[in-house]
Homo-oligomer: A and B are copies of this chain.
Amino acid sequence: MNDLIEANPNVIVVATTMQGGPQFVPPAERVATFDQDGTLWVEQPMYSQVMYCLERVPAVVKAKPELAEVEPFKTVLSGNREAMARLSKQDLEKILVATLTGMSTEEFRAEAKKWLETARDPRWKRPYTELTYQPMQEVMKYMRANGYKTYIVTGGGQDFVRVYAEEVYGVPPEQVVGSAGGTKYGYDKSGKPFLTKEPRLLLNDDKAGKPEGIHLMIGRRPRAAFGNSAGDREMLEYTKAGDGARLAMLVFHDDATREYAYGPAKGLRASKVGTFPQALYDQAGKQGWVVISMKNDWKQIFSFDK
């Protein structure tokens, strides 16, 4: 990061950790929340979890062969990327339900873990878990070193992100807040209890769902929040509406060479994944949120960059 951008987490940390200072915050109340997709790791051209779901379809069809001739599974099995990109939201939901629910929480965990170990991002030919932003990893570590609890607050699936968040970000499962479905308690043949993942949405942790999820899962207003898209607006507003020192930052993807460039803020190509509208850019300016230009403010993007 360049000095200007690095200065912002510094300012809030110094203000809130100075014993006897006017903005001192007790360690128990030091909460920092981070969106994941596009804020901590790459979200283009498609969310990693959606890749997981699409790549799980053959296994699902193997278990239920009657799905092979049913849409949208037929299209996914065809491997035709263009046809897949045109799938409707309803079609995508059918795929999510088929690949993320119906199994035990432990089976899901094992399947997702295996995929994460073997799947590769098509551009960098690396595991998705290596595509995290080095400057954000540094912010998280810096805040933790100063008594902050770092939470991930993601529109992605809570159970999915919990599989790798501890290893990849140092964020334990109980500090991952995400979109969450219900589970159902039951017993196997030997009488051992287990939980089955159900297609019943409890929390849609996106937009207004982010502060709602923060209240549900954390019960404290964050001191600092980091996002990158319209889905993070309410979380940043809610954070800044608290008293004392507060910090809101947005990662702006304007580096097509080293990563991706999309908006449509500042005239960049519009993207359905991680939309950053001009109105968000303008709101950030008005409300004192810091916009990070990936191109100008980050010296290094990935840990493997030279």
B162 touches A193 (CB 8 A): no
Q: In the complex the two chains form, what is the Cα distance from A176 to B217 in whole Å?
A: 9
Q: Which 8 A-B pairs have the closest CB atoms?
A: A173-B219, A185-B208, A174-B218, A183-B212, A193-B237, A162-B219, A193-B241, A185-B211
Q: In the complex the two chains form, what is the Cα distance from A237 to B193 in whole Å?
A: 7
CB distance from A39 to the nearest CB of B (A): 20
A272 contacts partner chain B, Cβ-Cβ < 8 Å: no
Residues of A that sit less than 8 Å from B by CB:
28, 105, 149, 158-159, 162, 166, 172-174, 176, 180, 182-185, 192-195, 202-203, 208, 211-212, 215-220, 234, 237-238, 241
A241 / chain B contacts, CB cutoff of 8 Å: 192-194
Cross-chain contact of A193 among B158, B172, B219, B234 (Cβ < 8 A): B234
A105 / chain B contacts, CB cutoff of 8 Å: 215
A217 touches B219 (CB 8 A): no
Residue of B nearest to A181 (CB): B216
A211 / chain B contacts, CB cutoff of 8 Å: 185, 193, 195
CB distance from A44 to the nearest CB of B (A): 28
A215 / chain B contacts, CB cutoff of 8 Å: 105, 183, 195
B212 touches A173 (CB 8 A): no
Q: A105-B215, A195-B212, A202-B202 are in contact. List 17 more A-B contacts (CB 8 A).
A: A158-B219, A159-B219, A173-B220, A174-B174, A174-B219, A180-B216, A182-B212, A183-B212, A183-B215, A183-B216, A185-B208, A185-B211, A185-B212, A185-B238, A192-B241, A193-B211, A195-B211
B193 touches A238 (CB 8 A): yes
CB distance from A172 to the nearest CB of B (A): 6
A192 / chain B contacts, CB cutoff of 8 Å: 241
A173 touches B203 (CB 8 A): no
A203 / chain B contacts, CB cutoff of 8 Å: 202
A28 / chain B contacts, CB cutoff of 8 Å: 166, 172
B174 touches A217 (CB 8 A): yes
Q: In the complex the two chains form, what is the Cα distance from A220 to B237 in whole Å?
A: 31
Q: In the complex the two chains form, what is the Cα distance from A137 to B164 in whole Å?
A: 34
Residue of B nearest to A176 (CB): B219
